[in-house]
Amino acid sequence: MQFTELALSEEIMRAITDQGYDAPTPIQAAAIPVVLAGHDLLAAAQTGTGKTAAFTLPMLNKLRPYGNTSPSPARHPVRAVILTPTRELADQVFANVQSYSKYLPLRSTVIFGGMTMDPQTQALRAGVEVVVATPGRLLDHVGQKNINLGQVEFLVLDEADRMLDMGFINDIKRIMALMPAKRQTLLFSATFSPEIKALADQLLRHPEVIEVARQNTTAENVTQLLYKIEESQRYRLLQKLLKHHEMKQVLVFTRTKQTAERLSRQLVKDRISAVSIHGDKVQSARLEALAAFKEGRATVMVATDVAARGIDIDQLPHVINYELPGSPEDYVHRIGRTGRAGASGAAISFATPDEEKQLQGIEKLIRQQLKVGNANELLSAYSNNHRVSAPLPTSRPLPSSALALIPGRAGRPREIPALFLPPKQAMATQVVIAEDSATTATS
Ligand code: AMP
């Protein structure tokens, strides 16, 4: 998608060009039309996704008719308030608002605590359309009658999850009570925790919901691994991974609807409970497949990229890229299905020599080389179907060698990394699985 397709004004387009942006980021492409259409919005996006422009650009576009150069404060009532948890973020957002509005006759200012109120008071009293603020200081100004929120049309809650964590909920409610009920509210949060959902239920009216993975980078708590394989090894490797590591809930991606359907049928034939969702399935069949997967009746859900968009499954432990996606961005979307809300996850990709180009595109986008696992070792490791069925004691301590493999984890890992080790170490690490989910470990 191009910015020109987003129906933004010429002044805003010029400001975007000045920034040197080539194309909208995914959150911008998704959010801008929604905001322009006047909907409330609940968006999950972290810093680094381009989220600030995602709300600022359409907001400025809608405020554009109010722009004027009159010196009278009465001609510049506050039309938009952007609340942020910290002064640093407020400053950063304000810098963005300034850049994007530089060709528009709209005024903006930033107010936060930790500094004298006077300059802020002056700016507010002179009249300003857009105010970026931290909640406490905004209320201080309300208390001193420096600001009137009676004509606000836009409210943005940026990093709402952090604002909740920092105890701003009552301040936010007080601020909202001072605004007209008829307004557009946009809520951005890094995660959709139950608390955020509850807040959204209270504050938003029929919101559109958008969720994107971070652009050009991938969630830190997702362990990524690549197996370089031949075409003939693809299915066998998938079977190995599923069976011998006792994966309980795996989202498997294929590039085409045909492969998705064929693969799920083959898995069922091989007695692995699998469902599929793709564009050739009617909505009811997709919903049924998704329900079976969510409820644990199906271990594997095979999906195409398009069909998987918008699927929200909490803490999905594994994603397997059976085939690499056509576009590198889809890789980020795919692996964004796992490792959510701070949970750890594993994303495993298969790549044949024919997929080398896609692989290069992905590694360029995420700015890292994927760690390569030894497919042959894994394929031959259990060739005699050797399994030990006796459960390991659940109290057995986790070997430190296993913990070391879990990036950034100090506590108890939920599942995984066994897959990423050669078979010998893998045996030890699988205790993790037994410990946490009380399932039978294998060696
Ligand atoms: P944010 O997630 O809003 O903090 O933005 C992260 C960074 O991405 C900022 O430095 C923005 O200037 C930059 N950015 C925002 N939109 C785009 C875009 N469409 N293309 C390239 N960079 C962008």
Total tally of structural domains belonging to the chain: 2
The reply to whether 250 and 196 lie within a common domain is no
The highest-confidence range among 234-238, 422-426, 429-433, by mean pLDDT, is 234-238
Residue 431 falls inside a structural domain: no
Which of ligand 1's atoms lies nearest the C-alpha of 19?
Answer: 12
What is the 3-class SS of 163-208, one letter each residue? HHHCCCHHHHHHHHHCCCCCCEEEEEECCCCHHHHHHHHHHCCCCE
User: 248: Cβ–Cβ under 8 A, 6 or more apart, which residues?
Assistant: 296, 299, 317, 437, 439
C-alpha of residue 9 to centroid of ligand 1, in Å: 19
CATH number assigned to the domain comprising residue 196: 3.40.50.300
Mutate to test the pocket of ligand 1, among 6, 25, 55 (most ligand atoms within 8 A of CB): 25
**Residue located nearest, by CA, to atom 9 of ligand 1:** 50
The residue with greater pLDDT, 410 or 231, is 231
State residue 335's pLDDT score: 81
Q: Walk across the sheet containing 208-211 and list its strands.
A: 108-111, 130-133, 80-83, 154-157, 184-189, 41-44, 208-211
Answer yes or no: do 207 and 226 share one domain: no
CA–CA dist 21, 50 (Å, integer): 11
264 and 342 fall within a common domain: yes
Q: 217 alpha carbon to ligand 1 midpoint, in Å?
A: 13
Read off the pLDDT of each residue in 20-45 and give the average, rounded to a whole number.
92
Greater model confidence, 294 or 142: 142
| Residues 242 and 190 placed together within one structural domain of the fold | no
Give the range of the structural domain holding residue 194, as residue numbers without chain letter.
3-211
Domain-terminating residue out of 405, 420, 436: 405
Domain annotation covers residue 176: yes
- Best residue among 2, 21, 84, 329 to mutate for probing ligand 1, ranked by most atoms within 8 Å of CB: 21
Alpha carbon nearest to ligand 1 atom 21, residue? 21
Percent of the chain with pLDDT over 70: 79
Determine, yes or no, domain membership for 437.
no
Between CA 20 and CA 151 the distance in angstroms is 34
Residue 190 and residue 161: Cα distance in Å, rounded?
7
**Protein residues whose CB sits closer than 6 Å to any atom of ligand 1:** 21, 24-25, 28, 47-53
Q: Which atom of ligand 1 is nearest to the CA of 45?
A: 2
The last residue of one of the domains, among 185, 211, 237, is: 211
Q: Assess if residue 216 is contained within a domain.
A: no
Name the residue at shortest CA distance from atom 22 of ligand 1.
21
The predicted model scores a pTM of: 0.55
Q: Decide if pLDDT at 260 tops 70.
A: yes
- Do 193 and 112 belong to one domain? yes
Share of the chain above pLDDT 90, in %: 52
Write down the pLDDT at residue 220: 59
The per-residue DSSP string of 324-374 comes to --SSHHHHHHHHTTBSGGG--EEEEEEE-GGGHHHHHHHHHHHTSPPEEE-
Atom of ligand 1 nearest to the CA of 22: 20
pLDDT given at position 195: 83
Distance 108 CA to ligand 1 centre (A): 20
**Confidence (pLDDT) at 412:** 31
> What confidence tens digit (pLDDT) does each residue in 310-350 have?
455 656 788 999 999 988 877 877 887 776 544 567 889 99
- Using the structure block, give the residue that is written with the tokens 């050739």: 280
User: Using an 8 Å Cβ cutoff, are 343 and 415 in contact?
Assistant: no
Residue whose Cα lies nearest atom 12 of ligand 1: it is: 50
Query: What average pLDDT does the segment 117-129 reach?
Result: 96
pLDDT of residue 343: 53
Tens digit of each residue's pLDDT (9 = 90 or more) over 66-109: 999 999 999 999 999 999 988 778 888 999 999 999 999 999 99
Residues 417/346, Cβ–Cβ less than 8 Å? yes
Q: How far is the CA of 53 from the centre of ligand 1 (A)?
A: 7
pLDDT of residue 65: 96
The count of residues in the chain is: 443
Sequence-distant (≥ 6) Cβ neighbours of residue 358 within 8 angstroms:
324, 325, 326, 328, 351
The pLDDT value recorded for residue 161 is 83
Contacts of 121 (CB under 8 A, 6+ apart): 141, 144, 146
Question: What average pLDDT does the segment 296-320 reach?
Answer: 78
Residue nearest to atom 20 of ligand 1 (CA): 21
> Residue 48 CA: which ligand 1 atom is closest?
2
CA of 425 to the centre of ligand 1 (A): 42
- The rounded Å distance from CA 31 to ligand 1 centre is 14
Where is 28: in which H helix or E strand? helix 26-36
For ligand 1, the distance from its centroid to the CA atom of residue 105, given in whole angstroms, is 23
Is residue 178 situated within a structural domain?
A: yes
β partners of residue 111:
133
Residue 225 CB neighbour total at 10 angstroms: 16
> Which pLDDT value is given to residue 208?
92
Q: Are residues 367 and 251 in the same domain?
A: yes
Looking at the predicted structure, is the pLDDT value of residue 421 above 90? no
Q: Clarify whether residues 144 and 273 are in a common domain.
A: no
Mean pLDDT of 260-275: 95
Residue 418 lies in a domain: no
Give me ligand 1 centre to Cα 363, in Å.
20
What is the residue with the minimal CA distance to atom 19 of ligand 1?
24
Average pLDDT, the chain: 80
Residue nearest to atom 1 of ligand 1 (CA): 50
154 and 235 in a single domain? The answer is no
Q: What strand order describes the sheet that includes 300-303?
A: 274-277, 300-303, 250-253, 318-321, 345-351, 222-228, 371-373
Shortest-distance Cα residue to atom 15 of ligand 1: 50
Residue whose token pair is 């405020």: 63
| Greater pLDDT, 42 or 387 | 42
Residue 11, in any domain of the structure: yes
The answer to whether the beta carbons of residues 28 and 54 sit under 8 Å apart is: yes
Q: Is the pLDDT of residue 304 over 50?
A: yes
Q: What confidence score (pLDDT) does residue 309 get?
A: 59
pLDDT at 434: 21
**In DSSP terms, which residues pair with 155 in a beta bridge?**
81, 185
DSSP 299: S
Q: Are residues 228 and 202 in the same domain?
A: no
Given its phi and psi angles, is residue 339 left (phi above 0), alpha (psi -120 to 50 degrees) or beta? left
User: What tens digit of pLDDT does each residue of 137-192 get?
Assistant: 999 999 999 999 999 999 999 989 888 878 899 999 999 999 999 999 999 987 77
For residue 51, the CA-to-ligand 1 centroid distance in Å is 7
CA-angle at 375, arms to 366 and 303, nearest 5°: 60
Q: How far is the CA of 17 from the centre of ligand 1 (A)?
A: 13
Is the separation of the CB atoms in 151 and 130 below 8 Å?
no
* Residues 50 and 152 placed together within one structural domain of the fold: yes
Query: How confident is the model at residue 339, as a pLDDT?
Result: 60
Pick the atom of ligand 1 nearest to 46's CA.
2
Q: Are residues 175 and 234 in the same domain?
A: no
pLDDT of residue 110: 96
Q: At 439, is the pLDDT very low, low, confident or very high (cuts 50, 70, 90)?
A: very low
Instruction: Give tens-digit pLDDT for 189-245.
Output: 877 778 888 889 989 999 999 987 543 345 556 788 999 999 999 999 999 998 877
Of 148, 179, 211, which closes a domain? Answer: 211
Statement to judge: residues 259 and 325 lie in one domain: yes
The number of the ligand 1 atom at minimal distance from the alpha carbon of 52 is 3
C-alpha 24 to ligand 1 mean position (Å):
9
Atom of ligand 1 nearest to the CA of 28: 19
The reply to whether 410 falls in a domain is: no
User: What is residue 219's predicted lDDT score, i.e. its pLDDT?
Assistant: 55
